[in-house]
Chain A
Amino acid sequence: MSALELWNEIHLELLAAALASIKLALGALTIGLVLGLFLALARLSGKGWLWRATGIYIEIFRGTPALMQLFIIYFGLAAIGITFSSLQAAIIGLGLNASAYLSEVFRAGIQAVPKGQTEAALAIGMTRTQVMVWIVLPQAVRVMLAPAGNIAISLLKDTSVASLIAAPDLMLRAQDLSSQYFQPLEIYLIVGAMYFVLCFPLSLLVRAVEPDR
C-alpha cells in the first residue's frame, strides 16, 4: 500500500488520536500551570522550610525521566492499591512533571519584576495578595510567555511517552496501526509529520513573543 493509500485509510483514526494527544497535553498543562504557580509562590514565600520542600520537589521531577514518573504513578501506585486509568496517570504524571519546570519559569518571571513595584504597591496600602495578583504577576507574564510556551511544546511532544503506559494518544495509535498494517516506516513518518504540524506553528508563535531578539 502506498503512503497515500495508507493515509486515506487511516487518517480519521490518526486525527482522532491527535485530538486525544492535544487533550492530554491540555489537561497536563492545566495541572502544570496551577501547581507550578503555587510552587513558585511557595518558593518565594520567604519561609525556609517551604523553600526547601519545593526545591526538593523540583529537583526530583526534573532529575528523573518522565517515563519513570509515569511508571511509578501507573504501575507503582497500582501495586499498593491506588489505581488510575492510563489516561489519568498520564495527565497527572505529565502535569506534575510540567509543574516543576513551570514553577522555575514563574519564579524567574516574578523575580524579574523590580522590587520597587512591590514596595510602591505596599506603600499605597495594598495587601500582599493584591500586590501579587494586580501588580507583580501581570508584569511577570511578559517575561514568562516564551519559556512557558517552550515548556508547553515539550509537553505536547512528551505526550508520546504516555503511549508507553498505553494511554490513548497519537503514538499509541501509531503502534497499533503499524502492527495492523505492517508499514511502520510510513505510519511513523506520517505521525511524525502530524506532530510537526502541531508543534511548528507553536514554535513560531513562541519565537514571536520572545522579548529580546
Chain B
Amino acid sequence: MTDLFTWLPRGDLLGNILSTLLLGAGTTLMLTAASFVVALTLGFVLALMRRSPWLPLSAIARIYLEIFRNIPILTQLFILYFGLARLGITLPATVAAVLGFGLNGAAILSEVFRASINAVDRGQNEAALAIGMTPVRSFWSIILPQAFPIAIPSVGNFLVGLLKDTSLASAAAVPELAFRARMLVSETYLTSEIYLTVALIYLFLSLPIAHLAKRAERRSLPQRAA
C-alpha cells in the first residue's frame, strides 16, 4: 500500500513517516465519510419519526436521542467493539467504528434536521395545503428544500466534530491517522514531532469544512433577518 506514495522520498525515515501518516489520513477520511452517510440517513429517519403524530414512534426517536447524546462516544465504541464480541458478535474494528460514529451522529443530526424543519415558516406549509397539495407533498417539495440550507452550517460543524472524533477509533485499533501515529511513535520515539504533524494534518482537513460552514452561516443570516 505504501507504493501509493512513490512521489515521496523513499527509503528514509521522513518519507516513511509521511507516507504512513498520509495512508492513515486516507483511512480517517473514509471512516468519516462512511459514518457521515450512516448518520445522515438514520438521522433523517429519526427526524421524521420525531414528527410522527403516532406517539410510540416519536417517543422511540426521543429516547434514542437522549441515550446517544448523554453517553460518551468512546463508551459507545467500546460497547460495540469489546462488548458485543463477548456475545459472539465480533465486528471488524472498522465496521464497529462506522456503526458507532454513525449511530451517535444520527442522534445529533436528527436534532439538527428537526430544528431546521421547524425553522421553516409555518405559512409555507399552510399556503401549500391551501393550493391543494397533500401534507406529504408539501413536506417534500415545499418544506424540505427550504430546511436544507438552514441545516447546512450545523451539519458542517457536525462533520468537523465527526472528523476529529474518528481519532477515538484508534483505541479499537482502526488503522486511521491517530492509530498510525501511535504506532510510528512507538517505533521511532519521535513523539512530539509526529503528534504535532498529525495535529497539523487534522487541522488541514477540518479547517476547510469549518470555513465552508461559517460561510454558509453568514450567507443565511440576512435571509433570516428579512
> Hey, which bits of chain A sit against chain B, CB under 8 A?
59-60, 62-69, 71-72, 75-80, 153, 157-161, 163-164, 171, 174-175, 178, 182-186, 188-189, 191-192, 195-196, 199-200, 203
Q: Tell me the number of A-to-B contacts counted with CB atoms below 8 Å.
A: 127
Query: Quick one: which of A67, A183, A186, A192 contacts B168, CB cutoff 8 A?
Result: A67
Given contacts A75-B191, A171-B72, A192-B76, contact A65 B84 (CB under 8 A): no
Instruction: Please give 9 more A-B residue pairs, beta carbons under 8 A apart, in addition to A68-B202, A203-B69.
Output: A68-B181, A68-B198, A71-B195, A72-B192, A157-B73, A164-B170, A171-B78, A174-B78, A200-B66
Q: Complex: how many Å from CA A195 to CA B104?
A: 15
Q: Complex: how many Å from CA A171 to CA B76?
A: 11
Residues on the A chain within 8 Å of B57, using CB: none
> Hey, which bits of chain B sit against chain A, CB under 8 A?
66-67, 69-76, 78-79, 82-87, 160, 164-165, 167-168, 170-171, 178, 181-182, 185, 189, 191-192, 195-196, 198-199, 202-203, 206-207, 210
Query: Quick one: which of B85, B171, B182, B199 contacts A64, CB cutoff 8 A?
Result: B199
Given contacts A68-B195, A195-B70, A195-B75, contact A164 B171 (CB under 8 A): yes
Residues on the B chain within 8 Å of A200, using CB: 66, 70
Q: How far is the CB of A181 from chain B (nearest CB, A)?
A: 11
Given contacts A59-B207, A65-B165, A188-B82, contact A76 B195 (CB under 8 A): yes
Residues on the A chain within 8 Å of B171, using CB: 164
Q: Complex: how many Å from CA A68 to CA B189?
A: 16
Q: How far is the CB of B122 from chain A (nearest CB, A)?
A: 16
Q: In the complex the two chains form, is B83's CB within 8 Å of A184's CB?
A: yes
Q: In the complex the two chains form, is B202's CB within 8 Å of A185's CB?
A: no
Query: Quick one: which of A59, A153, A188 contacts B78, CB cutoff 8 A?
Result: A188
Q: Which of A64, A182, A189, A195 has the most chain B CB atoms inside 10 A of its CB?
A: A64
Q: Complex: how many Å from CA A174 to CA B84?
A: 15
Residues on the A chain within 8 Å of B82, using CB: 178, 184-185, 188
